[in-house]
């Protein structure tokens, strides 16, 4: 009975920690399972060691289960190691933490450079605090998805740098430019929280030309804070951000958006809102160069099609462990 029981467990683990991409798929007939456990009862005690064990040019679906603990290390998933799923069992008990300001591209706590990455049930934080940019998560690979994760820092918490990305049921905390970069991302049912008492911006998207197909869409999210924040300011001349069906507390300033002190941006950015609600959603005080969208105008930003998710995202997990 023991061999049969073990086989059943492996099948269940493969199903539960399966990645969310559906096409351009890895070799599903040769999946790899790795366990990281600080107690020494796994294959590795450090997350980076587990990632380093994945061969360059990986074509196998690779599931790395991280047992609960506080992992004080920087983690990099290099560009030549796609098809990795990194999963804890609960974001509150599985924490990857580092303390470093942005001094170079390897400063973030976790950097995802590979394509077809999935992260689940993890807290990723940079504890540097005020005084400099301190990225918790950098995502530069294409087709990356995150489920039920927590991202915590003070400035530039999530550098959504390049590629198409999906965030579902995630908590994202910071003080200014909380989500920044030039990726194309859909945030669904995420909670954005500001810890700034002196103002700041939830987003700083960096689209630089009208032809560039990037931007951030927030659907069914929540925006809260201890002080007052704007929804976004333009890091790039054609910055594009939309908030739809989002609950906004009075932490959101009546003006809603900022131009980073340069009125030139007002003619080229696209900052839109659609059917948001709560005390911070009142459109009467919004800057005149932002947009209150009609349903047809909002539609391109509301579904998986915004990030071509119908081509690479399978059904996300329906519940937490």
Average per-residue pLDDT for the chain: 91
Res. 253: pLDDT tops 70: yes
Question: According to the model, what pLDDT value does residue 23 have?
Answer: 43
Please indicate, yes or no, if residue 319 is contained in any of the structural domains: no
The answer to the question of residue 236 being in a domain is yes
Q: Does some domain include residue 62?
A: yes
Place of tokens 């920087």: 74
Instruction: Please state which of the ranges 31-45, 275-289, 305-319 shows the lowest mean pLDDT.
Output: 305-319
* Beta-sheet pairing, 60-66 with 69-72: unpaired
Q: Is the dihedral of CA 130, 258, 212, 144 positive or negative?
A: positive
Whether residue 289 is contained in a domain is answered as yes
167-206 confidence digits (pLDDT tens): 999 999 999 999 999 999 999 999 999 999 989 999 999 9
> What's residue 315's pLDDT?
57
Query: What is the pLDDT at residue 314?
Result: 76
Residue 321's closest CA among 27, 1, 22, 65?
65
Contact 103, 134 (CB under 8 A): no
Q: What is the percent of the chain with per-residue pLDDT over 90, rounded to a whole number?
A: 86
Residue 7 pLDDT greater than 50, yes or no: no
pLDDT band at 317 (very low <50, low <70, confident <90, very high): very low
Residue 321 lies in a domain: no
pLDDT over 80 at 3, yes or no = no
What's residue 190's pLDDT? 98
pTM over 0.85: yes
Domain span at residue 29 reads 2-312
Q: Is residue 60 part of a domain?
A: yes
Closest by Cα among 46, 37, 106 to 68 = 37
Burial zone of 155 (CB within 10 Å; 0-12 exposed, 13-18 middle, 19+ buried): buried
**Is residue 84 included in any domain, yes or no?**
yes
How many structural domains does the chain have? 1
Residue 109's CATH number: 2.160.20.10
Catalytic site positions = 156, 177
- 273: helix, coil or strand? strand
pLDDT tens per residue across span 119-165: 999 999 999 999 899 999 999 999 999 999 999 999 999 999 999 99
């Amino acid at each position: 009975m023991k061999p049969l029981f073990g086989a059943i467990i492996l099948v269940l683990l493969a199903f539960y920690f399966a990645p969310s991409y559906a096409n351009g798929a890895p070799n599903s007939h040769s999946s790899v399972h790795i366990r990281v456990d600080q107690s020494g009862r796994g294959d590795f005690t450090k997350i980076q060691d587990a990632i380093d064990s994945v061969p360059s040019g990986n074509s196998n679906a690779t599931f790395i289960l991280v047992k609960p603990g506080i992992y004080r290390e920087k983690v990099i998933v290099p560009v030549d190691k796609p098809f990795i799923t990194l999963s804890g069992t609960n974001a509150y008990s599985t924490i990857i933490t580092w303390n470093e300001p942005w001094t170079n591209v390897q400063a973030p706590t976790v950097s995802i450079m590979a394509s077809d990455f999935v992260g689940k049930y993890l807290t990723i934080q940079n504890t540097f605090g005020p005084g400099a940019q301190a990225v918790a998560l950098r995502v530069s690979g294409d087709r990356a998805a995150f489920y039920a994760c927590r991202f915590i820092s003070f400035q530039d918490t999530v550098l959504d740098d390049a590629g198409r990305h999906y965030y579902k049921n995630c908590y994202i905390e910071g003080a200014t430019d909380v989500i920044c970069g030039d990726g194309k991302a859909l945030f669904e049912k995420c909670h954005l929280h500001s810890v700034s008492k002196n103002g700041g911006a939830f987003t700083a998207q960096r689209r630089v030309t009208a032809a560039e197909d990037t931007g951030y869409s927030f659907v069914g999210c929540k925006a809260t804070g201890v002080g007052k924040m704007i929804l976004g300011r333009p890091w790039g001349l054609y910055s594009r951000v939309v908030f739809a069906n989002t609950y906004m507390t009075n932490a959101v300033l009546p003006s809603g958006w900022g131009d980073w002190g340069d009125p030139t941006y007002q003619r080229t950015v696209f900052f839109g809102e659609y059917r948001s609600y709560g005390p911070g959603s009142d459109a009467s005080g919004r800057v005149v160069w932002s947009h209150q969208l009609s349903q047809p105008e909002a539609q391109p930003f509301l579904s998986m099609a915004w990030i071509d998710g119908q081509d690479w995202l399978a059904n996300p997990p329906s519940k937490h462990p």
